[in-house]
Amino acid sequence: MARLPTDVETEIDRFCNNIKQNTYTRSVDIALATIYILKKLIGESKWSNASELITLIRSQAHRLNQGQPVDSITFNITRRILKLIREVSVRIIHGKNEGSDISLTLQAVLNDRTATSTINDDDHTEENLQPKKQQTQNSITETNPINNIEGGVSVLRLKPELMDDLNWYSSEIELSVKNLSQQALAHIHANELILTLGYSYTVEQFFKYAASKKRQFHVFILEHAPFFTGHKMAINLSQLNIPVTVVTDSAVFAIMARVNKIVIGTRSLLANGGLTAKSGTYNLALAAKHYNVPLLVCAPTYKFSPTYLPSFDPVMCNSFPSPENILSYESIFQSSLDIVVPMHDYVPPELVTLIIGSGMGNAPSYVYRIVSELYSAEDNDLERLQKESLK
């Protein structure tokens, strides 16, 4: 593997340090920073074809995701760009324009070549057609695997089109929260009482858009102890004259009967429709299920992950900040207590009512279809490879 340019190495190191120091306050900032680094890697690194570029990006994926035990945003952005590389490669090979109605995949290329080779064969009898087609397909698969198709696209043809697609993708990420918030009027109705947990930039914009359209509603905000990020949400919404009430986390079950719906954000949306969100979300979801209160999750598409998490591992899939907010280090009980402060909860899909993405809302059971359209199946193993490298 060729050595990365010094500027790219510096940008990657800076990005990793910013992640470890929690410099990025919003998830969209992490997504845009990841796109910027990968654009720099594509533009300044040495590679001769699409296959080499894919290998180069995959080799840096684990490094970029360091310090993100819960968030899969960097992996998701990397997967999406890898699929863009494959799509651009196929588009160049087939000469299809970006706006073509024909959806092409690399497997479609193989099937097309197989059919062409079979039809042009001299023997067209019915009994020989299927064997020859199977033989031809096996021959193509052996001699022209997918990597060879990607290897047939040179850097001179691939880079300009790929950069255009990456610029478009970056703009899509920047507008994702705005596009999501514009669905607020379809979900927030007049004089509703809506419950949320802590602070979420996406949920804040969701409420702000509804308020800007003169929709009247009241927001109950769980304060999200011990970090009390709900206070920030209350201040920001009250400045827009949105009626708010801050509620202690322990009162969530008591007030649930009065709530019309719940709107929350998420850190990562998994392929089975489950999600990882801030601590306290699981208790909130259980109370909502008991009272049959709809639970709506705001999740831009860059948070959709192809991974599954059937059971939440509090060690491998969480982060633990200092317990200073709960018990001071100067306390006389400090030496005799073990204090664990998990940052996130896992919420299974059966507790989620609706996923509000950048497009229309979808049921949790439909998330896997969206994921299959966003990413290529051969890139779904990035997290597994990272875990194996840590053993």
Using CA atoms, how far apart are residues 357 and 347, in angstroms rounded to an integer? 17
Contacts 24+ apart (CB under 8 A), 126-134: none
State residue 5's pLDDT score.
86
Same domain, 246 and 120: no
- Looking at 153, 174, 195, the residue that finishes a domain is 174
Same domain, 163 and 187: no
CATH number of the domain within which 278 lies? 3.40.50.10470
Burial of residue 168 (number of CB atoms within 10 Å: 0-12, 13-18, 19+): exposed
Same domain, 114 and 199: no
Mean pLDDT of all residues in 196-211: 96
Say which amino acid occupies 123: D
| Tokens encoding 272 | 């089975």
> Shortest CA distance to 107 belongs to which of 67, 84, 77, 140?
140
Say if residues 40 and 64 touch (Cβ distance below 8 Å): no
* Banded pLDDT at 118 (limits 50, 70, 90): very low
Q: How far is CA 6 from the centre of its chain?
A: 29
Same domain, 258 and 317: yes
Same domain, 307 and 371: yes
* Banded pLDDT at 338 (limits 50, 70, 90): confident
Q: What is the 3-state secondary structure (H, E, C) of the chain?
A: CCCCCHHHHHHHHHHHHHHHCCCCCCHHHHHHHHHHHHHHHHHHCCCCEHHHHHHHHHHHHHHHCCCCCCCCHHHHHHHHHHHHHHHHHHHHHHCCCCCCCCCCCHHHHHHHHHHHHHHCCCCCCHHHHHHHHHHHHHHHHHHCCHHHHHHCCEHHHHHHHHHHHHHHHHHHHHCHHHHHHCCHHHHCCCCEEEEEECCCHHHHHHHHHHHHCCCCEEEEEECCCCCCHHHHHHHHHHCCCCCEEEECHHHHHHHHHHCCEEEECCCEECCCCCEEEECCHHHHHHHHHHHCCCEEEECCHHHECCCCCCCCCCCCCCCCCCHHHCCCCCCCCHHHCCCCCCCEEEECHHHCCEEECCCCEECHHHHHHHHHHHCCHHHCCHHHHHHHHHC
- Looking at 124, 155, 174, the residue that finishes a domain is 174
pLDDT at position 360 over 80 = no
Mean pLDDT of all residues in 79-107: 70
Same domain, 265 and 379: yes
Mean pLDDT of all residues in 32-59: 91
Name the maximum alpha-carbon separation found in the chain: 90
The parent domain of residue 163 ranges over 1-174
Pairing of strands 217-222, 244-247: parallel
The residue among 107 and 84 whose pLDDT is bigger is: 84
pLDDT at position 127 over 50 = no
Same domain, 4 and 69: yes
Lowest-pLDDT choice from 128-142, 321-335, 336-350, 357-371:
128-142
Same domain, 315 and 248: yes
pLDDT at position 332 over 80 = no
pLDDT at position 378 over 70 = yes
Same domain, 152 and 285: no
pLDDT digits (tens, 9 = 90+) for 262-305: 999 998 898 889 988 888 999 999 999 999 999 999 999 999 99
Mean pLDDT of all residues in 336-353: 84
Share of the chain above pLDDT 90, in %: 49
Please report how the helices 155-174 and 73-94 are oriented relative to each other, as an axis angle in degrees rounded to 10: 140
Same domain, 214 and 330: yes
| Tokens encoding 126 | 């019915």
| Tokens encoding 243 | 């009626």
State residue 384's pLDDT score.
63
Same domain, 110 and 199: no
pLDDT digits (tens, 9 = 90+) for 149-164: 556 677 888 899 999 9
Average pLDDT, the chain: 81
| Sheet of 275-278, strands arranged across | 268-269, 275-278, 344-347
Same domain, 271 and 145: no
Say if residues 295 and 353 touch (Cβ distance below 8 Å): yes
pLDDT digits (tens, 9 = 90+) for 284-295: 999 999 999 999
Per the structure, the count of domains in the chain is 2
- Looking at 174, 205, 235, the residue that finishes a domain is 174
Share of the chain above pLDDT 70, in %: 77
pLDDT digits (tens, 9 = 90+) for 216-244: 999 999 999 888 999 999 999 999 999 99
Place of tokens 């040179």: 154
Using CA atoms, how far apart are residues 20 and 328, in angstroms rounded to an integer? 23
